[in-house]
Amino acid sequence: MTIEIKVPTLGESVTEATVGQWFKKPGDAVEADEPLVELETDKVTVEVPAPAAGVLGNIKVEQGMTVSIGAVLGSIREGGAAAAPAPARPAATPSATKAPAASAMPPAPAARKVLVEAGIAASEVAGSGRRGQVLKEDAVAAAAAARTPAQPAAKAPAAYVASPLAPVPVQQMRAPSIANDAMREERVKMTRLRQTIARRLKDAQNSAAMLTTFNDVDMSAVMALRNQYKDLFEKRHGVKLGFMGFFVKACLQALKEIPAVNAEIDGQDIIYKNYYHVGVAVGTDKGLVVPVVREADRLGLAEIEQTIAAFGRRAREGRLGIEDMQGGTFTISNGGVYGSMLSTPILNAPQSGILGMHRIEERAVVRAGQIVARPMMYLALSYDHRIVDGREAVTFLVRVKECLEDPQRFVLEL
């Protein structure tokens, strides 16, 4: 019995996807629910599982092609036998090394081109990429090894020794050729997710009157509170006590006081949102994604930390769904985890505000007339000046600063 592999429903407003990597080849045995192929949409990358156990038949849509929802990607022969193994290769010479085990992942496009030109099968090359995928550098190394014949080393020519006053030979002054530069370049098509990120960020710059205002915050109180209770917090709630939960709580207090930062413009109307869905920007190897902590104002600090931790795991595993990233009203981006000192984040349209966090470092500040070292962080609020005035933006950042420097405000909701 033959079962078709179809493009599943990928979420609201998503009508097409680009076929990524196939994890199996025709004739390979597959288990039910085993990932077969990646699909890249303009929001997420999803893996299509096998609808049943059997043998992968024909592949109708190759990597890089665009498909619509419900399109047939290939087929599975249910209960079929795996393809017969390839004939045994001739015995290798004593100097030959044992061929590496073939990977289920197809080689990268740039690597495939190098292997085809060198006449080398991908199964003969050990891949260093994810799931054993052959990357370009693996293919280049294999091609170089194939071109180098096994022969005794020739006697090296005498080295040129220049005297302090001797002119440098013209050969050593010659600049590398442009052709060599072109050979070292790699052209890779942008994924649909990366194309969408680029388009949305540029649209935000073109449509919004974007402005950024800055402030700094003394993190001493939050860090002391965290150090005092982090072990008990993790034991009680099963999640580490990070900084993001404090920032979400502080932003919620400020959003309630300055509702324009939680609003959006629709034509000639302003939509004030009486709910708080806070997006948390997460960097992945596929690009930037922003899962949303829904109804954040109704969650406790532990629930916020648990939600963010779960989003982080799913983002790294590529398991975020479309519904996880829809409906945000405000966004927080933490560039500090990468060492950023200061930046101006771009709005996540159609939202009117985004808060940028940065690294914590000890700086000299004045407290009670004394110069002391304090763990300081710069905060940046980018906002749409069409709806948020400068006074409101500054007030928003001041409220966030006040909450973080005096965490008791969370309990008293001040």
Owning domain of residue 224: 203-412
Would you state the pLDDT for residue 245?
Answer: 93
Q: Which residue has the higher pLDDT, 88 or 215?
A: 215
**Lowest-confidence region among 87-91, 119-123, 183-187:** 87-91
- 68 and 121 both lie in a single domain: no
- 64 and 107 both lie in a single domain: no
Contact between residue 30 and residue 72 where contact means Cβ atoms under 8 Å apart: no
Judge whether 289 lies within some domain. Answer: yes
Judge whether 94 lies within some domain. Answer: no
What's the CATH code of the domain at 107? 4.10.320.10
- 128 and 266 both lie in a single domain: no
- 113 and 244 both lie in a single domain: no
Would you state the pLDDT for residue 179?
Answer: 63
Across the range 336-365, mean pLDDT stands at: 92
- 288 and 349 both lie in a single domain: yes
Judge whether 400 lies within some domain. Answer: yes
Token pair 């609201």 is found at 12
Would you state the pLDDT for residue 93?
Answer: 43
Q: How far apart are CA 223 and CA 233, in angstroms?
A: 14
- 330 and 393 both lie in a single domain: yes
If DSSP codes are grouped into helix, strand and coil, which group holds residue 139?
A: helix
Is the pLDDT at 278 greater than 90? The verdict is yes
Sign of CA dihedral 400, 405, 411, 414: negative
Q: What is the dihedral of CA 304, 305, 310, 311, to 10 degrees?
A: 70
Would you state the pLDDT for residue 168?
Answer: 52
Is the pLDDT at 171 greater than 90? The verdict is no
Judge whether 122 lies within some domain. Answer: yes
* CA separation, residue 369 to residues 372, 373, 402 (Å): 9, 13, 20
Judge whether 45 lies within some domain. Answer: yes
Q: What is the dihedral of CA 250, 253, 256, 260, to 10 degrees?
A: -30
pLDDT tens digits along 23-41? 888 888 888 888 888 887 7
Judge whether 96 lies within some domain. Answer: no
DSSP secondary structure string for all residues of 346-413: PP-TT-SEEEEE---EEEEEEETTEEEEEEEEEEEEEEETTTS-HHHHHHHHHHHHHHHH-THHHHHT
Judge whether 228 lies within some domain. Answer: yes
Q: How many domains does the chain have?
A: 3
Would you state the pLDDT for residue 84?
Answer: 46
- Percent of the chain residues topping a pLDDT of 70: 79
Q: Known catalytic residues? A: 385, 389
Would you state the pLDDT for residue 149?
Answer: 57
* Predicted structure pTM score: 0.61
Nearest to 400 by CA among 365, 363, 357: 357
Judge whether 88 lies within some domain. Answer: no
Q: Which residue has the higher pLDDT, 262 or 201?
A: 262
What's the CATH code of the domain at 46? 2.40.50.100
- 336 and 246 both lie in a single domain: yes
